Amino acid sequence: MLTQTDIKIKQDFVQQYKNGYPLLSREIFTNFSKEIKEGTILKLFDGKDNCIAKGYYGLQNKGFGWVLSYKKDEEIDIDFFSHKIKTALECRKDFFADIKTTAFRVFNGEGDGVGGVTIDYFDGFYLFTWYSLGIYELKDEILEAFKRSVDYKGIYQKKRFDGKGKYLDDKDDFLFGQKAPEPLIIKENDVKFAIYLDDGAMVGLFLDQREVRKTIRDKYTKDKTLLNTFSYTGAFSVFGAVGGAKKTTSVDLAKRSISKTSEHFSINNIDPKEQNIIVEDVFNYFKYAVRKKMLFDMVVVDPPSFARSKKHTFSANKDYVKLLKEVIQITNRGGVIVASTNSANFSMMRFHDFISTAFKELKGKYQVLESFSLPKDFKVLKQFPEGNYLKVVFVKKIR
Ligand code: SAH
């Protein structure tokens, strides 16, 4: 049995939970005792002693935990989680049936009814990511529910408890079943990727960009030059090359990006020697490219929300316009910029403002061609649209 406690919330906040808002925050409670430990099930009461929801206490960068149920008599137990997991898998049955793609998200936190945990599928293997100590305290119930409901080859986990989702390396990423091959080769729209489930914080591929990668390959890169900045393992470059790009250039600060990107080219029968893979601070590369008067037909820019390198601190919120201005200068007229951000701190509208400001300040002209947010497997609650953090806009530079 999980620890449970009754707790009162301020009258001003009652209605939002009745409407299905899922996130808990400090300010909603009249009094939150220091004795309450992360992972405790909170039974939320209004001023008239009516139970309006059940949630759990778990500190994340945003929030204080999540609502789990709006039914006052619903027990939070293995059956509860099992039902959520089965429903989530059922929602992804088209993904399981698609033989061209063998990696996708099967459980997206609050979008699937349990905030603070995600589950990704990699060709028979499942990866759990826990975003707070609180949700991790519920892991025995959740994992047991999963094992009862799902056939799996193996189960892995990542712990990202601290406020900013920083990875906690306790050398216990592998949990149950078989170990996955290193690398595990998965497919995304028939393009292969090498996944390392037990090699640090990230596995080698961000699944939320699937539709963007496909679009780049299918509509934009034939006979074009492609610059991929903040390239990580080169996923956009690989799709570009498969789409027939004349040449791709990938730039990332991390040394590992050379071997990882080369591997991704190789397993797709593309000779990495014919592509450019550069380890450098993107901001230095821009200076170099401007000096050399380099121009690209397509530039992908997908920075982290926040990053600190030796010389630069970058915050998407504050510095995106500046970043875009650099990118615009090395994009051909008629070329396309893929501007991307996973920052939950601003909206799609604000992101469009950034693009508009950047072009305006350079006296340029542009046209928005298309835009993307999270794909269907990254389920978002309509009561919590902030959960849809991904914003990607394809912008044609007119001048
Ligand atoms: N676009 C990638 C994901 C980017 S993850 C993809 O779709 O797969 C962010 C990457 O930015 C990391 O690989 C990190 O090493 C890199 N990075 C952070 N700051 C950087 C900088 N100043 N210059 C170059 N790369 C940077």
Stretch (H or E) spanning 154: strand 154-159
Pick from 50, 69, 88: which residue ends a domain? Answer: 69
Count other C-beta atoms under 10 Å from residue 256's C-beta. 14
Distance 108 CA to ligand 1 centre (A): 23
Nearest CA to ligand 1 atom 3: 232
Nearest by Cα to 41 from 28, 62, 24: 24
Ligand 1 mutation target, pool 251, 253, 261, 392, most atoms within 8 A of CB: 253
State the pLDDT at residue 1: 80
In a domain, 135, yes or no: yes
In a domain, 51, yes or no: yes
Pick from 43, 69, 95: which residue ends a domain? Answer: 69
Would the pLDDT of 271 be above 70?
yes
Residues 161 and 244 in one domain: no
Q: Which CATH number do you get for residue 26?
A: 2.30.130.10
341-353 residues labelled b (16+ CB within 10 A) or e (exposed): bbbbebebeebbe
In a domain, 348, yes or no: yes
Average pLDDT over residues 348-364: 98
State the pLDDT at residue 309: 79
Q: Which numbered atom of ligand 1 lies nearest the CA of 236?
A: 7
Residues 24 and 151 in one domain: no
Provide the pLDDT confidence category of residue 134 given band limits of 50, 70 and 90.
very high
Would the pLDDT of 204 be above 70?
yes
Domain containing 327 equals: 206-397
Residues 183 and 227 in one domain: no
Distance 204 CA to ligand 1 centre (A): 12
Distance 169 CA to ligand 1 centre (A): 21
Distance of CA 267 to the CA centre of its chain: 24
Average pLDDT over residues 288-312: 93
Distance 239 CA to ligand 1 centre (A): 17
Q: Which CATH number do you get for residue 276?
A: 3.40.50.150
Residues 211 and 338 in one domain: yes
Average pLDDT over residues 128-149: 97
Residues 287 and 372 in one domain: yes
Distance 259 CA to ligand 1 centre (A): 15
Residues 261 and 296 in one domain: yes
Average pLDDT over residues 14-18: 96
Contact status, residue 104 vs residue 377, Cβ threshold 8 Å: yes
Contact status, residue 234 vs residue 264, Cβ threshold 8 Å: yes
For the chain, the average pLDDT equals 96
Q: Residue 108 to residues 74, 89, 95, 201, 313: CA-CA distances in angstroms?
A: 21, 11, 14, 18, 30
In a domain, 197, yes or no: no
Q: Which numbered atom of ligand 1 lies nearest the CA of 284?
A: 23
Average pLDDT over residues 327-342: 98
Ligand 1 mutation target, pool 252, 277, 306, 340, most atoms within 8 A of CB: 252
Provide the pLDDT confidence category of residue 253 given band limits of 50, 70 and 90.
very high
Residues 183 and 222 in one domain: no
State the pLDDT at residue 276: 98
In a domain, 201, yes or no: no
Contacts of 322 (CB under 8 A, 6+ apart): none
Q: What angle do CA 382, 388, 390 make, to 5 degrees?
A: 160
Residues 222 and 368 in one domain: yes
Provide the pLDDT confidence category of residue 164 given band limits of 50, 70 and 90.
low
Average pLDDT over residues 38-64: 95
Distance 254 CA to ligand 1 centre (A): 8
The fraction of the chain above a pLDDT of 90, given in percent, is: 94
Q: How many domains does the chain divide into?
A: 3
Nearest CA to ligand 1 atom 21: 281
CA separation for the pair 282, 322 (Å, rounded): 13
Nearest CA to ligand 1 atom 10: 230
Residue, of 1 and 279, whose pLDDT is higher: 279
- Pocket lining for ligand 1, CB < 6 angstroms: 206, 209, 230-233, 235-236, 252-254, 281-283, 302, 304, 307, 309, 312
pLDDT tens figures, 171-195: 899 999 999 999 999 999 999 999 9
In a domain, 198, yes or no: no
State the pLDDT at residue 166: 79
Nearest by Cα to 302 from 233, 380, 365: 233
Residues 64 and 82 in one domain: no
Average pLDDT over residues 99-110: 98
- Looking up tokens 């000779």 gives 271
CA separation for the pair 109, 119 (Å, rounded): 8
Distance 304 CA to ligand 1 centre (A): 6
Q: Which CATH number do you get for residue 133?
A: 3.30.750.80
Provide the pLDDT confidence category of residue 329 given band limits of 50, 70 and 90.
very high
Residues 247 and 299 in one domain: yes
State the pLDDT at residue 322: 97
Contact status, residue 65 vs residue 116, Cβ threshold 8 Å: yes
Would the pLDDT of 212 be above 90?
yes
Would the pLDDT of 163 be above 80?
no
Provide the pLDDT confidence category of residue 165 given band limits of 50, 70 and 90.
low
Which residues face 43 on adjacent strands? Answer: 6, 54
Q: Which numbered atom of ligand 1 lies nearest the CA of 308?
A: 19
The fraction of the chain above a pLDDT of 70, given in percent, is: 99
Residues 359 and 283 in one domain: yes
State the pLDDT at residue 123: 98
In a domain, 308, yes or no: yes
Secondary structure (3-state) at 175: strand
Q: Which numbered atom of ligand 1 lies nearest the CA of 340?
A: 1
Distance 282 CA to ligand 1 centre (A): 9
In a domain, 195, yes or no: no
Pick from 129, 156, 189: which residue ends a domain? Answer: 189
Residues 341 and 216 in one domain: yes
